[in-house]
Chains A and B, each alone.
Chain A
Amino acid sequence: MSSGSVKEISYFPGCSLATSARESNQSLLAFFEAHGIKLVELDDWNCCGSSSAHSIAAELTHLLPSRNLALAPPQRPLLAACPNCFLRLKLTHMTLLQNRRAAEKYRRLWGRAFDARLQIVTFFDLLSDMVDRGVFKDNPRRLTGLKFVPYYGCMLARPPSMRNERNFHGLMEKVLVSLGAVPLTWSQGARCCGTFLSVSRPDIAADSVAGIMQAAVDVQAECIVTACAMCHLNLEIRSPLAIKVPILYFSELLSLSAGIGGGKGWFRRHLIDPRPLLQSKGLIA
């Protein structure tokens, strides 16, 4: 599966993957390791500010992410596993490139100039490159017959300043189809899960999640596939419907298809138990 030497990539897990979504973190590391990519965690990283810092304190918006950029060693891309962390880090880097005062402030705070050539990437960037290299071509089709709906939530939506960046519409379908899974067409693939409204206005988040879950039920999906820890949590805890469709991390499915993860206890951590489904498909014992 892996070709050549091990490639090292700096890794920013973020608060969710370090705690509530540990199964996402571990499956991501396992998947990349199986493909010859070593994720090296950024030493002593801090929170990117999440949805809250930029909402109530303009000054924190770029200062919190900037410390993480300063921790990243040169000549290695920096992977942000969480879509929201990625946006925060990337927007800060773009601001540093455009705004001389911000760059000067960075130099004063962190004692060096910012790395203009630092590449900040998502899980999808790396995966898309792997697709282009034909990595999934001859994979065993272990996911054969698994009927899924791809759930992107807001992770493909970006501010106008990032309109010229790469986009990854359809990537999860493309990869999972090549591994034998069956994508279903549905209506809610890009509807935001509600993020923090799940805590501060659970009524609004529950409405959103109910619509998403119902749409998955309507097309008879066996599972919902997401690449975001926030989406995963909200879909698991906020659906008021009696029928609950298991939510799988994209990285969990990729690991299973590479023959890893069945016994690692990731699926025990889910609040909507996906094990009966995975057992019926022969993916775990």
Chain B
Amino acid sequence: MRNAADSQPRRSTVHLTAQQGHFAREVSRRAHVNIARCWHCKCCSNGCPFAAAMDFYPNQVIRLAQLGLKRQALESSSIWICVGCNTCSVECPQAIDVAAVMDALRQMAIAEKAAVGEPNILEFHREVVESIRRYGRTHKLEIMMRYKLKKHDWLSDVNIALQMLSKRKLDLRPSRVKRLEQIQAVFQNILQAKGHEQR
């Protein structure tokens, strides 16, 4: 398995400060998980179907959080490549909700304006959430088109899109929630909430 972390310069000493302890506690608090329970058996990393594409393995991400290495944790590609499939959670002998840790780190990366390791994945998530805000449901065709527009990438996947359209797997018009004001109320509710990034 390839792992970019292996090729990074080794740090033999990590200087812990009180502030770094805050980070570990904040991750635990947001994720509702005590990350100190992780003893690095690597069951999560060996079970993860996407570990090979990550810069840090899932247990290494937890290690970064335990050691308070905030910047490395929040800028890692791993937290975005994780799709939350929960395979790691099934493997974990310590019942750590690894996917919830990844959720917490993603949300913190946005709140702290960290350099996002996988900007395209974040952009995709934003388009999905925007679609829900507009219609109450996801409109796949529009999500794809807006996402491709942002990336200036019109050519990849044209074939797939045409096939899906011909099989009527992509609706031209969005399906909308009738009482859209209720969806707006939900979004209003979170606008004031701390940590949510408006574009």
* Chain A interface residues (CB < 8 Å from chain B): 15, 18-22, 44-47, 49-61, 63-64, 67, 109, 153-154, 156-161, 163, 190-192, 194-197, 199-202, 204, 207-208, 233, 237, 268-271
Contacts and interface: CB of A to CB of B under 8 A. Distances in A.
B186 A109 contact: yes
List the 7 closest pairs (A to B, CB-CB), nearest first.
A154-B85, A59-B190, A52-B128, A192-B85, A160-B95, A157-B86, A52-B125
Interface in B108-144: 110, 118, 120-126, 128-129, 132, 136-138, 140, 144
B190 to A, nearest CB: 4
Contacts of B187: 60
A53 B133 CA distance: 11
Interface residues of B, number: 66
A204 B82 CA distance: 11
Contacts of B129: 52-53, 56-57, 60
Contacts of B86: 154, 157-159
Contacts of A269: 167-169
Interface of B: 30, 49-50, 52-53, 81, 83-87, 89-90, 92, 95-97, 99-100, 103-104, 106-107, 110, 118, 120-126, 128-129, 132, 136-138, 140, 144, 147, 156-157, 160, 163-164, 167-171, 175, 177-179, 182-183, 185-187, 189-190, 193, 195-197
Contacts of B168: 22, 269
Contacts of A58: 30, 103-104, 107, 195
Contact of A201 (B81, B140, B182): B81
A149 B21 CA distance: 48
A60 B190 contact: yes
A44 B178 contact: yes
Contact of A47 (B52, B100, B107, B137): B137
Contacts of B185: 109
